[in-house]
Structure 1
Amino acid sequence: MVPDDTSSTDGTVSADDTVRTDNTVSTGDTASTGETASTGDTAAPDASPDARVDPSNGFLAPGDDTAADLGDVLVYGLVGGIAGSVLSFVPFATVLGGGIAGYLCGGRSSDALKTGTVAGVVMTLPFAAVVFFLLFVLGFAGAPAEFGVIALFVVGLAAAYTLGSGIVGGILGHYLRGQL
């Protein structure tokens, strides 16, 4: 279809406008050199990741695939770890803490993995400190060495659970950020 001079000039599409395959619309207005002006709503496919627009709402897509700064990973991991520690009475609070960290951080999925790891480490620290303090106190009370070995195994298992569920929560939080 060939555009004519009756098409609109305000950027809206009418029946006489030509629609190109790159999602831009030619308005049919000709310049003095005979070129047509085009008004596009989407960025070119080779544009930077910052220029990607979510077609459903016109805003930047959540978790816009730009790498998060290390400071952001640490801060949001700390926030998620503190939230998970405070909510420790809630079932799966470690996943919730990692989810909060992954949701807040955004960025790439690798950043969510790092943020969830930081949140898991932060959530592990209070538990490990209390257990090691009790082992230290019980060690002077004459407890057998086998008790200490079993207690260290239990602490290691609990730390692996907390760290792993913080990572899973970080990935789930990143996924939810992309969906909401």
Structure 2
Amino acid sequence: MNFWVSALLGAVVSVVTSFVPLSPVIGGGVAGYLHAGSREDGLRVGAASGVIAAIPVVLLVALIFGGIGFFTIVENAVGATVFFAGLLMLATLLVVALSAGLSAVGGYLGVYVREETGRGNGARRRGDDVDTDTSI
């Protein structure tokens, strides 16, 4: 499946399951499973899925801190404006890094599951890595 379609579907799953703890891992896993590439590709598509899934949260955080920051501008409190702007940047960075990181782990696991179930390209099945040579 296309990289961006897989990432978008994984992001939708992350947002829909947001009430579940570690939901970015689930969304990243879906993206990695659907993308059907290597494990490194799973990391990439999972991270992209996490960044896309973080957009609604970042918008909500920006709305909250932006609203508070707007009142500090109206009151002409430069120090408070700088404080809330810094807090907004820190919160945005934290949300995106956490979502992308957890989704990347999920993408890796999604590709792993696809390989173990035998649906991946050149998938390794259980027992393939066992040495069957019994000669001494």
TM-score by length of 2: 0.74
The answer as to whether partners of 2:65 and 2:84 remain within 8 angstroms in 1 is: no
Residue by residue over 1:100-124, the C-alpha shift from the partner in whole angstroms, topping out at 9 and shown as x without a partner, is: 1001111222321221122111111
Residue 150 of structure 1, CA deviation:
2.4
More strand by share: 1
Tell me, yes or no, if structure 1 residue 153 matches structure 2 residue 90.
yes
Distance 1:158 1:74 in 2: 21
- Residues 113-165 of structure 1, C-alpha deviation per residue, up to 9 Å, x if partnerless? 22112211111111111111222222211171323312321221121111111
Say yes or no: does 1:172 pair with 2:109.
yes
Greater relative contact order (Cα < 8 A, sep 6+): 2
Unaligned 5+ segments in structure 1 are 1-67
Larger helix proportion, structure 1 or 2? 2
8 Å contact 1:73–1:114 — kept in the other structure?
no
Query: Distance between the aligned counterparts of 1:171 and 1:103, measured in 2?
Result: 9
- 4+ residue stretches of structure 1 with deviation over 6 A? none
RMSD between superposed Cα atoms in Å: 1.5
Partner of 1:127: 57
Superposed, 1:1-180 pairs within 5 Å as 72-142=2-72, 144=80, 145-180=82-117
- 1:116 touches 1:167 (CA, 8 Å); kept in 2? yes
Alignment coverage as a number of residue pairs: 110
When normalised by structure 1's length, the TM-score is 0.57
Residues 78 and 119, structure 1, Cα contact 8 Å, conserved in 2: yes
Q: Percent identity?
A: 34
In structure 2, the gaps of 5 or more residues are 74-79, 118-136
Aligned partners of 2:37 and 2:99: how far apart in 1? Answer: 23
Larger Rg: 1
Counterpart CA distance in 1 for 2:28 and 2:51 is 10
Letter in 1 for 2:54: T
